[in-house]
Amino acid sequence: MTKLYFVRHCQPDTSSGYNPGFPLTEQGKRDALLVADILSDKDITAVYSSSYPRAVMTVEPFAQSKGLEIHKEFGLRERDGGRWQGSFDNYADYIAAQLADFECKVPEGESLYEVQSRCMEAVNRILALHEGESVAIGIHGMALSTVLRYYFPNFGEKDFYRIVDLMPLVLRLDVENGTVTGYDIELAVKRVYPNGYLNT
């Protein structure tokens, strides 16, 4: 059995507007220490992360404490929202439409099916490389939602909104032969985006 510890990133600093490269807030950096503490006794042998800074910064204190390299996986990055403005009245409607139809996409953006495909390609590669081990994976809210939808087909909009403000969230999935045999929430800290952005 392989234990995957999915780590949804801590509170990001969106004060300069949304962009893929924003870092963590000072609160987010402090919360990353909570992540390190929670993971410290999990016998984790490898650390992977989305290449986006907020995800890397979230798992960095833990990786440094254990002397582990962070393997950056571009496939774990957050969904490209494209030009949703003009396609939907508000961001919440855009989220609802995509969660209801995984093929839904806007100009220059990704469908959730596309996000799920690249995320699961990365997850399956990690599973193949680390069979029987415990692995930490830095990820984002919507990207994680597509992984959960893969393993739990009934995961939907209400489930997404249960995790949207959990920054950080550490969710363990026990995977054996491609099937989830157990799961648990190891850490859940409720934070909000400082400027009200609803992005993941």
- Nearest Cα neighbor of 82 from 12, 165, 20 is 20
Range of 14's domain? 2-190
Answer yes or no: is 200 within a domain. no
CA distances from 75 to 92, 116, 149, 183 (A): 24, 9, 17, 23
> In the prediction, which pLDDT does 16 show?
73
> In the prediction, which pLDDT does 195 show?
54
Answer yes or no: is 198 within a domain. no
Answer yes or no: is 197 within a domain. no
Answer yes or no: is 125 within a domain. yes
> pLDDT tens, position by position, for the chain (200 residues)?
999 999 999 999 988 766 778 899 999 999 999 999 999 999 999 999 999 999 999 999 999 999 999 999 999 999 998 888 888 888 889 999 999 999 999 999 999 999 999 999 999 999 999 999 999 999 999 999 999 999 999 999 999 999 999 999 999 999 999 999 999 999 999 987 665 545 55
Domain total for the chain? 1
Answer yes or no: is 120 within a domain. yes
Answer yes or no: is 195 within a domain. no
Q: Report yes or no: 198 and 81 within 8 Å, Cβ to Cβ.
A: no
- Kindly report the CATH number assigned to the domain that includes residue 75: 3.40.50.1240
Answer yes or no: is 16 within a domain. yes
Answer yes or no: is 196 within a domain. no
